[in-house]
Copies of this chain bind each other. A is one copy, B any other.
């Protein structure tokens, strides 16, 4: 006839845990003594220890409660199932860790390939501001359109190997702080339109996919950061549309 504290120490749990098990119907409430204290028997200790050995194995308490009324065959079947669950959880954690390590190796949360692309941008002389912007942009594209993102990235990387196109992008970067009325903005818009017409099929201009808001969303963010860029977008859009 031991008290709850002793039982807790024997079973290696806290008093709270035992009371929770009573409340959840896993362990029957014992008799009370004259002062209302719970008084436990060896049966309770044995039951509690069995419950803990299942709980330690990761079996949810509700499941343990049901299992305690079930025959041994059910118990075996349930244990097998729980084993499968554990294996799945281990696999999932391993995947997560692999992802995390790639993340840590890249110093940031970048999808594969984007890091190298950003390094090239720095080499080409793009501003830090532009590089940071591109990083975020590619995160967004990879998350929302994983199936075409790599293709887009490769297209973009290839475009930058051509000096004339690279010049356009560098000038776009540089136009950030121009006044919107600056003639260089108009001149850049001209070059952009010609380059786009040159490079892409007029019926399949990139960023025109009507099933996605992402290009629009990105362009809105781009535009919001500079009046000159906003004007540039308007000009290009008018001449292409």
User: A interface vs B, CB < 8 Å?
Assistant: 1-2, 6, 10-12, 41-43, 45-46, 49-50, 53-54, 56-58, 72, 75-76, 79-80, 82-83, 86-87, 89-90, 93-94, 96-97, 99-101, 103-104, 107-109, 136-137, 139-140, 143-144, 213-214, 217-218, 220-221, 224
Contacts and interface: CB of A to CB of B under 8 A. Distances in A.
A145 to B, nearest CB: 9
Given A83-B104, A213-B2, A93 B89 contact: yes
A41 B221 CA distance: 7
Contact of A56 (B96, B101, B139): B96
B107 A96 contact: no
Contact of A42 (B2, B10, B75, B140): B140
B139 A50 contact: yes
A53 B100 CA distance: 8
Given A42-B220, A96-B86, A136-B46, A10 B58 contact: no
A100 B217 contact: no
B99 A93 contact: no
B94 A79 contact: no
A86 B79 contact: no
Contact of A53 (B10, B12, B87, B109): B109
Given A72-B108, A80-B104, A107-B72, A11 B221 contact: no
Contacts of A143: 10-12, 45, 49
A140 B49 contact: yes
Contacts of A82: 100
